[in-house]
Amino acid sequence: MPIRTFALFVFIFSMFLPTEQTCAQNWDINLLKSINPSKPDNQFWKSVSSTAEPLAVAAPISMFAVSFINKDKQLRANACKMVGSLVITAVLTEGIKRTVNRDRPFVTYPFDVFPNNMDETGKSMPSGHTAFAFTTATSLFTAYPKWYVGLPLYAWATSVGYSRLYLGQHYPSDVLMGAVVGTGSALASNWLYKKLTHKKEQKQAPVIN
């Protein structure tokens, strides 16, 4: 079953990513240090980071509203698939955070990583902001598969991931895992929706004797 396979892959993959402070000279912390400045106060990256979850919620709500106004069944279906992807993303993100139990980089490396604030006390892997950004981008791109739709969407999602590094909130591997979770969740939701609607159509189809 694709969703179970995807979930299993994500959990296994997360276990092989660096999660403990074994050596300060690994690629994860070194790359983070090269991106995270001593004073991460750039307002642009703060703003980019703050767009992830609001846009993820606003997009399906707007799609639902427009679909009811215009009586657009396809748009409503796309909104349903997007809601499904957000639910899968939230469940997987929280599940992995509890399973991996990885501290934020500024907690593990207090003299090497400089966060923009200390308010985000949740676990580090995966990056929830990145996961929601990529599930939003992938959901919209699968609904409207044009390059001029996908390019700005994935540029935005990637920028959200980068902002989490700049602000000292996550390791690069957290962001990578967030992108995998978000993208995979959108694809899984799309597959699940098609499967459920196909079964519904089969039940409603008239029986010809």
Q: Domain extents for the chain? A: 45-191
Half-sphere exposure for 170 (CA within 13 Å, toward CB): 26
Give backbone dihedrals phi and psi of 170, rounded to 5 degrees, phi first. -145, 160
Q: What is the pTM of this model?
A: 0.85
The whole-angstrom distance between residue 120's C-alpha and the CA centroid of its chain comes to 17
Name the DSSP letter for residue 204.
H
> Domain 45-191, what fold?
Vanadium-containing Chloroperoxidase; domain 1 (1.20.144)
Q: Tokens 């599930």: give the residue.
A: 135
Cα angle 154, 78, 133 (rounded to 5 degrees) comes to 30
pLDDT tens-digit series, residues 11-47: 555 555 554 445 444 889 999 999 999 999 999 999 9
Q: Where are the alpha helices (DSSP H) in the chain?
A: 2-16, 27-35, 43-70, 73-100, 105-108, 128-143, 147-166, 172-204
Closest CA to 81 of 67, 94, 93, 95: 67
pLDDT tens-digit series, residues 87-135: 999 999 999 999 999 999 999 999 999 999 888 878 999 999 999 999 9
